[in-house]
Amino acid sequence: MDFPRPKSLLRRAGEASLIASAAFALAPAPVLAPGLSPLAIALIVAFLILSLGIHEAAHAWVAWRCGDSTAKDLGRMTLNPIAHIDPWMTIIIPGLLAAMGGPIFGGAKPVPVSYHRLRHPLRDMALVALAGPASNFLIAIVFAVAWKLCLGRAGYEPESLMVQVLLYSMFANIMLTAFNLLPIPPLDGSRVMTWLLPASLRPGYQALERFGILIVFLALYLPPVRRALNEMQRSILDVIDALTSVIA
């Protein structure tokens, strides 16, 4: 069984707004699928919040393994999403924007990392950053497996609540993976880019972070960025399809 290629999903995903982990990611907002029931939307959002908690915990765990226990000491190395919620950026602002029918922009509480406590600061910052998108990639695989099992062996209809929730939750985590890998400060991909850049270019690149939120938001409206993001999502989807093909 092949994954469907719902181009409208990927296109609308590129037009959705931001829900953040330590950096930012695209949200499976109701605008993605106006036909979804309120229960389906609530479950998808619940799974998204849980995924964000895992994303944050992954950052904290890798930082701890690399020598920095700051996040662990502050109780952020937990799968409990409540520990990662910022009342304004995670709940109030996205809720108001959703009620107004506009793009949903928000953020989770960033995981604190003490750069100089890491054993190999530059490299370890890149590893800490990669942990978040990697966790969402693995979560997307879990949802993909469950989705295929429901459609294939369990015989659920494509329009059933469970199948829709699993499909959109998978796409949400694919979006989290792809978006956070963009090399735009302060996204996770920028930490990897900082590590890879020549030392002479790092200060100027890192200075962009002070305008990071604005740059990220504006970048989403640039056709090249949106095309790149959509291609990344499609590539991740293809990899997941290949990895889970044994289930079909």
**Residues annotated as part of the active site:** 56
What percent of the chain is helix, strand and coil (3-state, nearest 5)? 65, 0, 30
Query: 115 — phi, psi (to 5°)?
Result: -55, -45
Task: Report d(CA 133, CA 195) in Å as an integer.
Answer: 17
Beta bridge partners of 18: 26
SS3 197: coil
End-to-end CA distance of the chain: 5
Say how many C-beta atoms besides its own lie within 10 A of residue 11's C-beta.
Answer: 11
Q: What distances in angstroms separate CA 66 from CA 17, 114, 131, 180, 194, one per listed residue?
A: 33, 11, 12, 21, 18
Task: Report d(CA 62, CA 234) in Å as an integer.
Answer: 27
> Pairing state of beta strands 18-19 and 25-26?
antiparallel
Cis peptide before 81 (omega within 30 of 0): no
